[in-house]
Amino acid sequence: MEINSHKITVTKPFLPPKEEFNKYTDIIWESKWLTNNGPLHDEFEEKVSNYLKIGNACLFSNGHLALDIAIKALELKGEVITTPFTFASTTHAITMNGLTPIFCDIELETFNIDANKITDLITDKTSAILAVHVFGNPCNIIKIEQIANEYNLKVIYDAAHAFGVELYGNGIGNYGDFSMFSLHATKVFHSIEGGILSFKESELKPILSKYKNFGIADEENVELVGLNAKMNEFQAAMGLLNLKYIEEQIEKRKKITNKYRELLNDVEGIRLVEDMENVKHNYSYFPVTIDEKKFGLNRDKLYERLKEFNIFTRKYFYPLTSDFKCYNFDSRNLINAKLVSDNILTLPIYSELTLDDVEYISDIIYHLYSN
């Protein structure tokens, strides 16, 4: 088959019109307020809270530091039950706070933590559950909340992929003690870099504000050991501007997703992830799993063959965080997680990807399958 002349990457950041961003930089130049809770920061915090339909929010320089500070604010100890099928940040945030991650297997359908397997992992050292809304698909929130209430555990949701996702009409950030949203450049919605913590208890806001500013309470008092995790005005400006385009971005991704489903649905050996009921999705990723016996190629070979046609996918998430070289965790019981991780592939999806590109990618996959 003819090779596409342009490189198709797995993702590409959305950039709004430059002249619109320049209007915000003019405001920054005039105020000369670059960081430390400037006017754009405060405006963005309010407007993004309204969009996400959450009661309380705190902005951070990035999602990882937001997650790290959520753990610190809850004063977690001992063990945290979590998933190995996630980005490095999730596990690193646990271990860097001196906690032990206890890995739970995942559901084959959603790739989320299997809530039905959590109870068996609870010990007298367990202090929390840190679950991930993988690819923006909500976890079994009802079951997780029941377990947390029964065993008096804290719940943090890594919602890095779930910006704008709603469950039964409620913003996904309304569940658990904290939810963390990543605003990294490659996400559906970004502020160049950035993170958000949503939370129920409003009295946590002053604590979070101290943690992200070195623990400083005022000019003469440092009340806790904190970090530098403040969002600056340029990040806030990008966030404010991108809020104007978020629904348009999600709608474009939805069309791309539906086109993939139409073209790949009948390809034997490729399993697609369908929309969940009662969920407003953001279509952040397009993951597929490859069954080598049915498709004819394994995931790794397909990944390499697609490169030959200028199509660049990602093995996301591979390897499992429990298998990282920097750790030495026992992952023998993570049967589903290993199966998914060894066969997962995320296909290109971003708002500027054309439907012609989607057809090309799908045609190449079908060509490789047929041959």
Task: Collect all residues with Cβ–Cβ distance below 8 Å to 193 and sequence separation of at least 6.
Answer: 61, 62, 183, 184, 185, 235
- Cα diameter, the chain: 71
Q: Is the peptide bond before 317 cis (omega within 30 degrees of 0)?
A: yes
- Please tell me the pTM assigned to this model: 0.97
Other CB atoms within a 10 A radius of the CB of residue 50 amount to: 12
pLDDT in tens, 122-156: 999 999 999 999 999 999 999 999 999 999 999 99
Element (H, E) at 304: helix 299-308
Confidence of residue 356 (pLDDT cuts 50, 70, 90): very high
The sign one gets for the Cα dihedral 83, 258, 314, 1 is positive
Tell me what the mean pLDDT of segment 13-41 comes to: 97
Res 131: pLDDT: 99
Instruction: Assess contact for 115 and 140: CB atoms under 8 A.
Output: yes
For the record, the structure tokens of 197 come out as: 């913590």
Could you give the percent of the chain with pLDDT greater than 90? 97
**Residues 18-243, CATH architecture:** 3-Layer(aba) Sandwich (3.40)
Confidence of residue 1 (pLDDT cuts 50, 70, 90): confident
Distance CA 85, CA 106 (A): 8
Over its C-alpha atoms, the chain yields an Rg (Å, rounded) of 21
Tell me what the mean pLDDT of segment 222-239 comes to: 98
120, amino acid identity: D
Other CB atoms within a 10 A radius of the CB of residue 313 amount to: 24
Other CB atoms within a 10 A radius of the CB of residue 290 amount to: 23
User: 3 vs 178, which has greater pLDDT?
Assistant: 178
The reply to whether 18-243 and 246-370 are identical in fold is: no
Distance CA 364, CA 252 (A): 22
* pLDDT over 90 (residue 250): yes
CATH classification code of 246-370: 3.90.1150.10
Res 2: pLDDT: 80
H-helix segments, 162-224: 204-211
Res 328: pLDDT: 87
Instruction: Assess contact for 215 and 208: CB atoms under 8 A.
Output: no
pLDDT in tens, 34-81: 999 999 999 999 999 999 999 999 999 999 999 999 999 999 999 999
Backbone phi and psi for residue 198, each to the nearest 5 degrees, phi listed first: -105, 150
Instruction: Assess contact for 315 and 307: CB atoms under 8 A.
Output: no
Beta strands in the chain (DSSP E): 56-60, 79-82, 100-103, 126-132, 154-158, 166-167, 170-171, 178-182, 195-199, 216-218, 221-222, 270-272, 279-280, 286-290, 344-347
Where in the chain are the domains?
Answer: 18-243, 246-370
Collapsed DSSP state (helix, strand, coil) of residue 117: helix
Instruction: Assess contact for 59 and 183: CB atoms under 8 A.
Output: no
Distance CA 279, CA 138 (A): 8
Distance CA 15, CA 143 (A): 39
